[in-house]
Amino acid sequence: QVSSPQPPLKYTPTQMVETLHGVFGDHHARAIHTKGIMLTGRFTPSPEAARVSSAVHLHGASVPIIVRFSNFVGVPDAPDNDPMSSPRGMAIRFTLPDGSSTDIVSHSFNGFPSQNADQFRELLQAIAASGPDAAKPTALDGYLATHPAAKHFLTVAKPAPVSYATLPYYGVNTFKFINASGKVTYGRYQIVPMAPAQYLTDAQAKVAAPEYLSKEIGERVGHGPLRFRLMLQLAGKGDHIDDPSIAWPDTRPQVELGVIAIDHLVPDSVAAEKKIVFMPNRLPKGIEVEDQMVNFRSAAYGVSFSARQ
């Protein structure tokens, strides 16, 4: 694995949330991934999971989960078929037997536009300065010319999904997993739907209803549980463990950590969404932060949470 020394960050989580509001609007809701829907279910660990981590939810009995699916853009009423609504988000809270909890916050893109939080803020600032009336070349044109990962993230085709349940999701940041014998494994989550991945054509997406995804997920869950495999992609030689903008090769081995089964809509999703803040660094013994973006993210999520109460 490769760990590159990261320069100290210039900007704070509060400045980051202000920048997100500058791009998407300040609406006292989530600064990004604003529109979502919550469901509940259970997570059942696989027998192999304990090989990589002693975390309590990764061995033994199943545990309850709360899941929030969301759209990328930081606009509360953005239509589900808006291109800026991709990638989609999947946040999961596992309730542990002692009443504490641990979270995974993932999205449907294997990578991130930026190596670190400062770069992400610079990208957002370039977007904010490049509205439809901005002179060409815009600040964003200039930024993308020198930042290939950001260009890839913004320009690669991200077709609208048939369902939140037919998309793979990626944890993107690397975590350190420690098993009962103290053995360390570095890995990234991949959440793979058991339903085949399915996308709308551009023509279908154009005519889809603005709320088609929330309506679809409500209908689908009424016919039986939505199932995903929680996988851990293991770092190989040369893989960056603190740079989420670089996806690891698909050939890396994976360990199945368990199965996610989602079976109910949360009755008052709006109220439940307001109350909850998922934290990527809320971790039990047996899993630790490796990529420092995870701590920065969690601090920014806390700032956004306070602003939306």
Annotation: binding site for heme: 301
- State the nearest-atom distance from the C-beta of 198 to ligand HEM, in Å: 20
Enumerate binding residues for ligand HEM (CB under 6 A).
16-17, 20, 30-33, 36, 68, 70, 89, 91, 105-107, 112, 117, 120, 171-173, 244, 277-278, 293, 296-297, 300-301, 304-305, 308
Is-catalytic flag, 57?
no
Say how far residue 57 (Cα) sits from the centre of its chain.
20
- State the nearest-atom distance from the C-beta of 253 to ligand HEM, in Å: 21
Nearer to ligand HEM, 112 or 143 (CB): 112
> Residues 145, 146, 151, CA angle at the centre, nearest 5°?
60
Structure tokens at 244: 């989420």
Choose among 272, 277, 265: nearest CA to 213: 265
From the candidates 33, 57, 107, 147, give the one annotated as an active-site residue.
Answer: 33
- State the nearest-atom distance from the C-beta of 281 to ligand HEM, in Å: 12
- State the nearest-atom distance from the C-beta of 163 to ligand HEM, in Å: 17
Nearer to ligand HEM, 20 or 232 (CB): 20
CA distance 233 to 225: 25
CA distance 146 to 155: 14
Nearer to ligand HEM, 54 or 106 (CB): 106
In the annotated binding site, the residues are 301
Nearer to ligand HEM, 73 or 105 (CB): 105
Annotated catalytic residues are 33
